[in-house]
Amino acid sequence: MISLKGLSKRYGDRLAVEDLSLELKPGRVTGFLGPNGAGKSTTMRLILGLDRPTSGTATIGGVPYHRIRNPLRTVGALLDARAVHPGRSGRAHLVALARSNGIPRRRVAEVLETVGMSEAARRRAGALSLGMSQRLGIASALLGDPEVVMFDEPVNGLDPDGVRWVRGLMRSLAGEGRTVFVSSHLMSEMQLTADHLVVIGKGRLIMDAPLAQVIAGSAGTTVLVRTPHAGELAACLRAAGIATERLGENEVAATGVPVERVGDLAHEAGIRLHGLRTREASLEQAYHELTADSVEYGATGRAGA
């Protein structure tokens, strides 16, 4: 488990991370979301001891990273797929990591097979495509068979098959009881992969909740109701402060309300229903609503202007 308590990091007059407190639990994929400059990469660097916090603590299994005796056996991380000596082969890179961490050499062949690089690992790291570099970085993270894995934008440069493979890998690792922490800007992929979401903006925590709860809280979540008394139901819902829209003679859409609430109001009003279902908002829509006030580098110009 990863635990952050009052974690803050200041660079000069800029507060990159502010009073962040989280518990990232095992057995689930936790997605880490936020606009550019939100503090995601800084937070991951603080967890891994690559930066020193201004205040607060970051621990893995109750221990700061720099005190972990065999770090690769406890936590594996991919923060920068290109952070490999370009003149070394992928295999040589993994062998060096294994030897320096007391990991059996046979493990190198195992992780190369896992990431589909048994042959490509003979090539120099500097000659690998971004997608293959990502696979090598994932192999490095898995080398010590760690309890905790952290990935920063792991699907960058991967083709659709590779993206699907990474998704399955993260789900599999979480299913084995490991803590999986992954940052991404791909909302559609996070919606398919994550169980839980942490959203930050301008270094501060915005949301720490299960994926389903984040999406359900979006104003875009819609309840669709079929009833022969659509006008009466619409008036009833509006009286309760619920935004409604008539979609046809016998259908009403209610926005930003749980389906149970709509059903209860219809029952209390004695309105007969022929259908009641939810059309959920996407994670992308929910994310934009959550971070609307936290975007520091928003573009305003028209493309091609």
Q: What is the tens place of the pLDDT at every residue in 165-212?
A: 999 999 999 999 999 999 999 999 999 999 999 999 999 999 999 998
- What pTM did the predictor assign? 0.80
**Burial call 264-284: b when 16+ CB within 10 Å, e when fewer:** ebbeeeebebeeeebeebebb
Question: Can you give the pLDDT at residue 298?
Answer: 56
Q: How far apart are the C-alpha atoms of 192 and 163, rounded to whole Å?
A: 11
Cα 16 to Cα 9, 34, 238: the distances in Å are 6, 13, 43
Distance CA 1, CA 15 (A): 26
Locus of tokens 């619920």: 242
Q: Which of 152, 128, 140 is nearest to 103 (CA)?
A: 140
Q: What pLDDT does 255 receive?
A: 83
SS3 content of the chain, % helix, strand, coil (to 5): 35, 30, 35
Domains plus CATH for the chain? 2-210 (3.40.50.300), 222-279 (3.30.70)
| Residue 216 contacts residue 202 (beta carbons within 8 Å) | no
Q: Which residues of the chain have pLDDT under 70?
A: 219-220, 280, 296-305
Q: What is the predicted pLDDT for the residue at 303? A: 46
pLDDT of amino acid 147? 96
Q: What is the per-residue pLDDT for 295?
A: 72
